[in-house]
Amino acid sequence: MVNRVSRRTFLRISAVTGGALVFGDLIDQVLGLTGSSRAAMAGEPIKIGILDPLSSPYKTSSIHDVHGATVAMDWYNERGGVLGRPVSIIEADDASNVQTALKAATKLIKDDRVNFLMGTFNGDVSLAVAELAKKENKLFMVTGSHVLELTGSACHSHTFVFLPNAQMMAQAVTPHLIKAYGNRWYMVTADTMDGKAAAQAMTAALKSQGGEVIGATTTTFGATDFTAALTEAKNAKPGAIILNLYGWDLVNALKAYAKLELAKEKIGVGGMIGGEQIGRPLGYANNAGIWGLIWDPKINTEGSKRFIQGVIDKYNHTPTSRCYLGYAAMSQILEAVSRAGTTDTAAVINALEGHQFDGLKEGRSYFRAADHQHVQDVLVGEAYGKELGLGHYKILATVPGDSVAALQSDTPCRL
């Protein structure tokens, strides 16, 4: 039975919450949703398997992915679950390795009998799990990979991609990097599918605006010392060093940038993706540059504020964009199950395709039916070496997703 909220009841809620949506028991008490009604959930749990590189250079971000997803799970379970069933999460470590990922994903599907899969960061891992998910008829929500193949040449009916792809991120951030540092860049790129995808997207975006890549260095995944790479970059005298890195690779490269005092040499720094998950391990003093941002805690929408408070209440820290990805992706899977009225894979896929939803950003968010890409705002931020309200970044721009996403007619995806 659906609970109907009278105008008087709504005004009571608004009076005590200031009109905001909040976590906790307050709304449940006003609506008469007691502990016993929450406990009425019955039947087999809806199981979500989260596959992330918990033991790789991406490990910090992976933990935040799980944090966000857990906050979303708790929110649904506190309100009776989905379709009257509790929701549970089963975590697995893919270690940024394809074979490890496939073994872990197979266990989630065969032994743990999960209903859905989500997660992964490395592009090659995401592509391999996408193949397995289609074979095993499981919906797979990719939260951390930006490689174009996922919604392009290797797209799958069963795979949805929550992160903006490399092209979207690069096109959003490049004009701001050029404005700040000029259009002569040196690239430092991780020797991974992800690093190469970022380098290709950033190079294409730079060249489209008349810029030039004047040099490049490739580094091993998991490198800790970037002194030699950045010294080589310095000697090329670029306007900016573009770091096609992520996770602890990016943290360590930015530490080297600060140690070599390259800002004093009038050499800027930046890249396709930064965020609190990078700025926080660095500490304020070492954070620098202009970056594409997936989400930021200064986004002032009701959905974003509710999410922020939920993470603070559970984990006592301001959420990162990786928390955002886990939370929002989990929420969309569960909302699609609710709309479909079933956990049947085909029905849930149909409920997601073309669906517009609150992406916790200012602009609209939706999954394109043609390729299952989440089209969304892309933020651009300038890193600050001190506290700047909530977080480490000054927001320079909010770029609508429709303006940077490829036209559907241009994608090679054929679902």
List the chain domain ranges: 41-164+299-376, 167-293+379-410
pLDDT confidence band for 286 (50 / 70 / 90): confident
What is the CATH topology of the domain spanning 167-293+379-410?
A: Rossmann fold (3.40.50)
Q: Is it the case that residue 108 has pLDDT exceeding 90?
A: yes
Mean pLDDT of 367-392: 88
pLDDT confidence band for 284 (50 / 70 / 90): low
CA dist 414 and 153 (Å) reads 8
Lowest mean pLDDT among 20-34, 247-261, 375-389: 20-34
The pLDDT of residue 129: 98
Contacts of 12 (CB under 8 A, 6+ apart): 30
Which two structure tokens, joined as six digits, stand for 175? Answer: 């004009």
The pLDDT of residue 287: 86
The pLDDT of residue 389: 65
The pLDDT of residue 280: 79
Higher pLDDT, 378 or 10: 378
The pLDDT of residue 285: 72
The string of pLDDT tens digits covering residues 33-51 is 444 444 446 689 999 999 9
Mean pLDDT of 244-273: 96
Domains 41-164+299-376 and 167-293+379-410 share a fold: yes
The pLDDT of residue 221: 96
Which listed CATH number (3.40.50.11540, 3.40.50.2300, 3.40.50.300, 1.20.1050.10) goes with 41-164+299-376? 3.40.50.2300
Give how far Cα 285 sits from Cα of 192, 257, 380, 383, Å. 29, 12, 20, 10
Contacts of 80 (CB under 8 A, 6+ apart): 33, 37, 38, 40, 41
Mean pLDDT of 125-150: 98
Lowest mean pLDDT among 37-41, 371-375, 409-413: 37-41
Mean pLDDT of 350-359: 97
What mean pLDDT is reported for the chain?
89
The pLDDT of residue 276: 86
Which two structure tokens, joined as six digits, stand for 258? Answer: 């600060």
The pLDDT of residue 41: 62
The pLDDT of residue 387: 61
Q: Is it the case that residue 200 has pLDDT exceeding 70?
A: yes
